[in-house]
Structure 1
Amino acid sequence: MSQQTHQQTPPWYLGRLCGFDLETTGVSPERDRIVTACVVQCGANQPVQSATWLADPGVDIPEGAAAVHGITTERARTEGRPAGEAVEQIVTALTAVVLSGIPVVAMNAAFDLTMLDREARRHGVQPLTDIVGDDLRVVDPFVLDKHVDPYRRGKRTLTDLCRHWQVPLDGAHDAAADAVAACRVAWRIASTHAVIGAASVDDLHAQQIGWAREQAESLADYFRRTPGKEQRADSVRGDWPWVPAQRSGGQQ
């Protein structure tokens, strides 16, 4: 009976997926702020459900960041909702997804989920991981790609992964476009690599914790052996899918 039930269960990537992406004021989860966000449910032959946010981060958006995602300080102040309100709504949306058993697909999840965690704590919002605990299941195309093709040369941004896996990406660095593209890349990897596609979401989440740690150790070792990059090794973190606040050692 159990074997028959298992055979009737479709692989995870054919079920409902939830893409999650942030655009921010910079690349430090400890210091920077959320500017835009998207939580989009897709797949399983059901309609796409997308929610997006534009926040006023309460600080100036550096020109370099605005050049990437297109949101200036002026626009954020004029059109954005208060940061604390946006963060609370993002956490609420992801909580509903997680508690319904849908995996969260996030490119380089350790950045986005850590950023959301720090913003929640900054604004007095109960963090996602404190609410859902061990129910959180994450699929990270960045970790999956490095696992199935560790020696491929070149960058591994979402744009690069979309190009490699032949996934359309309309409007890179737009949170909504990136969230959907991350789901498509995850689907492509899972559909072409049985070790990914045949795993249960529970097992895949656990495996990614180990893979992310191994990938971080390899990167840190590379930095140590590369002249001029030695000090960068100290900043490499192997925590996944988020960096616990008490271990971050950074500015809150």
Structure 2
Amino acid sequence: MEQTHTSAPPWYLSRLAGFDLETTGVSPERDRIVTACVVQIGGGHPAAAANWLADPGVDIPEGAAAVHGITTERARKEGRPAAEVVEEIVTALTAVVLSGIPVVAMNAAFDLTMLDREARRHGVQPLADVVGADLRVVDPFVLDKHVDPYRRGKRTLTDLCRHYQVPLDGAHSADADAVAACRVAWRIASTHGEIGNASLDDLHAMQIGWAREQAESLADYFRRTPGKDDRAATVRGDWPLLPHQRRGGAA
């Protein structure tokens, strides 16, 4: 009897794991996790979501609370200890990665760096140390800038959802943003063969290069723009995680 070989479906038609954090601010080195979501969707199976609310141990600035809706008072009353939450997020993502499922995160370098620093802060083994080279990330932010580099305007998740006609219910809640990131990645992959037909290994490697090129382009723009030249030095091209600096880092 002849054997028939069926090729695996493209990655975006298989299981995806959306990951998103809402935080006390925009510095992954200094700020803290407030809410988090890891949601598995697609691949012909029902969605499965895990959500967390942490007491970050510091006050949540009014500006951050206005974005995600979690006040200091609510986090202290309803949130769980930050160390427990961070450990559970790392455990959930470890299970995803070791199952061969890609982590889909909008602007992954922020969320994964934030999680890494929180893990170190609370004595939890960081995700990158646990899974090593098995980590595969899909970042709609990097993908969008690669396929449409000259589109004007902002590129927040809300903007990308509008551009790719993806529904976004409850923007700036971790669960809604995690699902939306997966949907945007699906849209891009389904219409750009270079991305959709790539293996996860190749796509991850390509995004490392694209993110570096995009950062270099942004830094060059800042250097050429009066009044913004000082920003060039702050642009980082590391992806999907900013390396931990053992000296001079946040406590």
TM-score where L is the length of structure 2: 0.97
Question: For residue 17 of structure 1, what is the aligned residue in structure 2?
Answer: 16
Question: For residue 238 of structure 1, what is the aligned residue in structure 2?
Answer: 237
Alignment-mate amino acid for residue 43 of structure 2: A
Alignment-mate amino acid for residue 40 of structure 2: Q
Alignment map for 1:8-87 (pairs within 5 Å): 8-87=7-86
Question: For residue 90 of structure 1, what is the aligned residue in structure 2?
Answer: 89
**What's the secondary structure of 2:245's corresponding residue?**
helix
**What's the secondary structure of 2:94's corresponding residue?**
helix
| CA 167–47 in structure 1, closer or farther in 2 if over 3 Å, else same | same
| CA 86–190 in structure 1, closer or farther in 2 if over 3 Å, else same | same
| CA 248–231 in structure 1, closer or farther in 2 if over 3 Å, else same | farther
Alignment-mate amino acid for residue 177 of structure 2: D
Q: Distance in 1 between matches of 2:51 and 2:134?
A: 23
Could you give the per-residue CA deviations for residues 188-236 of structure 1, whole angstroms, max 9, x where no partner exists? Answer: 0000000110000100000000000000000000011111111111110
Alignment-mate amino acid for residue 142 of structure 2: V
* C-alpha displacement of 1:45: 1.1
Q: Distance in 1 between matches of 2:97 and 2:162?
A: 29
* C-alpha displacement of 1:251: 2.1
| CA 19–228 in structure 1, closer or farther in 2 if over 3 Å, else same | same
Alignment map for 1:1-252 (pairs within 5 Å): 5=5, 8-246=7-245, 250-252=249-251
* C-alpha displacement of 1:248: 8.6
Which ranges of structure 2 fall in alignment gaps of 5 or more residues? none
* C-alpha displacement of 1:247: 7.4
* C-alpha displacement of 1:243: 0.5
**What's the secondary structure of 1:39's corresponding residue?**
strand
Q: Distance in 2 between matches of 1:249 and 1:128?
A: 21
Identity of aligned residues (%): 84
**What's the secondary structure of 1:245's corresponding residue?**
coil
Q: Distance in 2 between matches of 1:243 and 1:219?
A: 17
Alignment-mate amino acid for residue 125 of structure 1: V
**What's the secondary structure of 1:246's corresponding residue?**
coil
Could you give the per-residue CA deviations for residues 51-82 of structure 1, whole angstroms, max 9, x where no partner exists? Answer: 00000000000000000000000000000000
Which ranges of structure 1 fall in alignment gaps of 5 or more residues? none
Q: Distance in 1 between matches of 2:155 and 2:16?
A: 22
**What's the secondary structure of 2:205's corresponding residue?**
helix
Could you give the per-residue CA deviations for residues 141-184 of structure 1, whole angstroms, max 9, x where no partner exists? Answer: 00000000000000000000000000000000000000000000
Tell me the matched-pair count.
Answer: 248
| CA 30–185 in structure 1, closer or farther in 2 if over 3 Å, else same | same
* C-alpha displacement of 1:246: 2.4
Alignment-mate amino acid for residue 241 of structure 2: W
Further displaced range: 239-248 or 137-146: 239-248
Q: Distance in 2 between matches of 1:247 and 1:40?
A: 32
Q: Distance in 2 between matches of 1:246 and 1:228?
A: 29
Q: Distance in 2 between matches of 1:8 and 1:93?
A: 29
**What's the secondary structure of 1:59's corresponding residue?**
coil
